[in-house]
């Protein structure tokens, strides 16, 4: 599924939040076709990229990683358990918020070939405002706290406080 308008929205958004996207020829054995991560950069091989929405998910991994560990992404110095299951859930939730923010359809992000067969479940769950992982995103100071939301409902998730983890 190639959609240049959605790709442009994604690339513009990532540029605005200072996650670099660099075009580069990549080997066949990347975790996701046509994508690789290194520090605060997503390398993309457009000839091999199968799902453009995967750019948002991979950006989520960069965004929710601590400042201390972000420079280590893609290196052998990164903790072996990265991303943890918690990191994965928060990256998924972050990518949902990003898709809503830039008006990308959820089935473009959560495509049927990814998410371990749970793409429809994710779309349904998040569309029902059941935001699994939201307390963790709030703890990371990326989503507004319940107190902030109770004072101003305009701050309710999927509105984000910070697109990049501040610590």
Domain presence at residue 78: yes
| Dihedral of alpha carbons 108, 127, 92, 142, sign | positive
**3-state SS class at 22:** strand
1: pLDDT strictly greater than 60: no
The arithmetic mean of pLDDT across residues 15-19, rounded, is 97
Query: Model confidence over 128-153: pLDDT tens digits?
Result: 999 999 999 999 999 999 999 999 99
76 lies in some domain: yes
| Mean pLDDT calculated for residue range 147-166 | 96
- Does residue 31 lie within any of the structural domains? yes
Domain assignment of residue 164, yes or no: no
In a domain, 52, yes or no: yes
Q: Which domain holds residue 29?
A: 4-155
With cut-offs at 50, 70 and 90, classify the pLDDT of residue 3.
confident
Domain total in the chain: 1
Report the distance separating Cα 5 and Cα 14, nearest Å. 14
**Residue 115 within any structural domain of the chain:** yes
pTM: 0.94
Is 160 within the bounds of a domain? no
Q: How far apart are alpha carbons 110 and 130 in whole angstroms?
A: 16
Q: What is the pLDDT of residue 2?
A: 59
Name 160's Cβ contacts closer than 8 Å, sequence gap at least 6. 94, 97, 101, 142, 143
Does residue 165 belong to any structural domain of this protein? no
- 101 and 109 in contact (C-beta within 8 Å)? no
pLDDT tens digits along 47-81: 999 999 999 999 999 999 999 999 999 999 998 89
Give yes or no for a contact between 138 and 62, defined as CB atoms under 8 angstroms apart: no
Give pLDDT tens digits for 80-97: 899 999 999 999 999 999
């Amino acid at each position: 599924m190639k959609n240049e308008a959605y790709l442009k929205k994604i690339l513009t958004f990532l540029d605005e939040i200072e996650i670099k996207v660099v075009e580069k020829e990549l080997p066949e054995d990347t975790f996701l076709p046509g994508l690789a991560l290194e520090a605060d950069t997503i390398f993309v091989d457009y000839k091999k990229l199968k799902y453009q929405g995967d750019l948002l998910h991979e950006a989520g991994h960069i965004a929710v990683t601590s400042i201390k560990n972000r420079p280590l992404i893609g290196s052998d110095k990164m903790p072996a358990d990265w991303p943890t299951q918690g990191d994965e859930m928060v990256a998924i939730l972050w990518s949902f918020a990003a898709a809503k923010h830039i008006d990308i359809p959820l089935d473009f992000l959560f495509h049927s070939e990814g998410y371990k067969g749970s793409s429809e479940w994710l779309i349904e769950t998040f569309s029902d405002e059941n935001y699994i992982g939201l307390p963790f995103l709030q703890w990371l100071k990326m989503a507004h706290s319940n107190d902030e939301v109770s004072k101003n409902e305009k701050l309710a998730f999927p509105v984000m406080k910070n697109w990049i983890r501040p610590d």
